[in-house]
Amino acid sequence: MSNKNLFSIFANHIIWYPTPVVLNYLWGFGSLSGIILSLQILTGIFLAMHYIGSINDAFNSVESIMRNVNNGWLLRYAHANGASFMFISTYIHIARGFFYKSYIWNIGVWSTGVIILLLTMGIAFIGYVLPWGQMSLWGATVITNLVTAIPSIGVKIAEWVWGGFAVGDATITRFFSIHFVLPLLLTVIVMLHLAFLHKKGSLSSEGSFFTEKINFGQYFGIKDLLGFCFFLISYFILITWFPNLLGHSDNYIEGNPLVTPAHIVPEWYFLPFYAILRACPNKIGGIISMGLAILILLILPFLEKKEILSPEYKNISTSFFIFFIFILFILGWLGGQPAEAPYVFISKLASSLYFIYIFIFIIFLKFI
């Protein structure tokens, strides 16, 4: 393909892409997520050159990267904190689509977006295991043990995932391979996500496609660039001044299967779903609840009406949305607390409100 054809494709899909006039800065988090994904893949490739996927060497290889590789500390902190920025950007991007009801108008974009979220979660979880610190080891043990709740075949599935009878050498080797390959699949889904978006176009903040449009490069390209600059400043401040702010101190202790941490917690971006998991006293019920909390996003396009949103609808919907975000923050806080009273009771209440919002409030709004 000639350079002229490549430029023509770029110009048609980026520079001259027709975009609604009434868009705000929240629309920039989609492109920002793509940029962060590119940074994660790039830093991950360089880290993989020095990482050793073995329970005897994984922890020491990460420490060697930090101390002996030129700028290895920068690569490691950029990759670790890049995962947090990826989730911040992705969650805001989804929240924007949720608030402006984008899923009503473009099911393809929304569905592929949910798949991207699921893949990102899987990649992040597997990546968190690789440093083989205490929280990595026990986080992997707790999460992979969940599948043992599946009747008849649960234990066999767990042993297949582990490559033995417990989390061990085979587990970390498999996780390293999967962590390296899954981003390639994620990139393909992202391309599909963009294809669906460009086929139908972006929804305006007024809840409609029918609005005046301008070329993306004339205005929104600059807005996205400004958002990227703010991200870059925050990114480098975090990885140079506060690199461990979003991590857990126990992960600087080498994983020991004979010593259980006093309080096992996942990374912050999993905490709301972890709270939902722990809120159910039954293990299989907790797994179903946690999975449903995410997969329920796929059915949202079928719960609401497809028409121009009235001011009354927007006002009521906005109030419910703010309440929903508040519930998510409460669940995130609860996920980091010990599994004891009164946190367990509050987790049950907040988890119930999460599902009530999806099943009751949204369906109720459908008839307004």
Q: What is the CATH number of domain 19-257?
A: 1.20.810.10
Span(s) in the chain for CATH 1.10.287.980: 265-368
Higher local confidence (pLDDT), 360 or 235: 235
Whether the per-residue pLDDT at 361 is higher than 70: the answer is: no
Determine the 3-state secondary structure of 19 from DSSP.
Answer: strand
**Residue 124 backbone dihedrals phi, psi, to 5 degrees:** -65, -40
The predicted structure's pLDDT at residue 310: 56
Instruction: Name the burial class of residue 106, with classes exposed (0-12), middle (13-18) and buried (19+) by CB atoms within 10 angstroms of its CB.
Output: buried
Where in the chain is CATH 1.20.810.10? 19-257
Give the pLDDT score at 262. 81
**212-266 confidence digits (pLDDT tens):** 666 666 677 777 888 889 999 999 999 999 999 988 888 999 999 888 888 888 9
Nearest to 336 by CA among 262, 252, 274, 259: 274
Specify the pLDDT at position 11: 46
The residue-averaged pLDDT of 153-179 equals: 91
Residue 5, pLDDT > 80, answer no
Q: Where are the alpha helices (DSSP H) in the chain?
A: 3-10, 29-48, 58-68, 72-99, 102-105, 107-129, 134-145, 154-162, 169-200, 216-241, 271-279, 283-295, 311-335, 343-356, 362-365
Which residues carry out catalysis? 198, 202, 223-224, 267
* Residues forming a β-bridge with 213: 20
Does the structure show a pLDDT above 60 at 10? Answer: no
Over residues 182-189, mean pLDDT? 94
Most confident residue range from 28-32, 193-197, 235-239, 296-300 = 235-239
Superfamily of domain 265-368, CATH level 4: plastocyanin oxidoreductase (1.10.287.980)
Residue 7 has pLDDT above 60, yes or no: no
Element containing residue 214 per DSSP (H, E): strand 213-215
Q: What is the pLDDT of residues 305-349, one digit of tens each?
A: 555 555 556 666 777 888 899 999 999 999 999 888 889 999 999
Kindly report the number of other CB atoms within 10 A of residue 32's CB atom. 21
**Could you tell me the end-to-end alpha-carbon distance of the chain, in angstroms, rounded to an integer?**
52
So what's the pLDDT on residue 19? 67
For residue 9, the model assigns a pLDDT of 46
Where does the pLDDT of residue 6 fall: very low under 50, low under 70, confident under 90, or very high at 90 and above? very low
Tell whether omega for the bond before 311 is within 30 degrees of 0, i.e. cis.
no
* pLDDT attached to residue 224: 80
> Could you tell me the sign of the dihedral formed by the alpha carbons of 128, 130, 132, 137, in that order?
positive
> Which among 366, 15, 23, 12 is positioned nearest to 208, based on CA atoms?
23
Region of residue 248 (left: phi > 0; alpha: psi -120 to 50; beta: else):
beta
Length of the chain: 368
**pLDDT computed for residue 261 by the predictor:** 86
Percent of the chain at pLDDT > 70 equals: 83
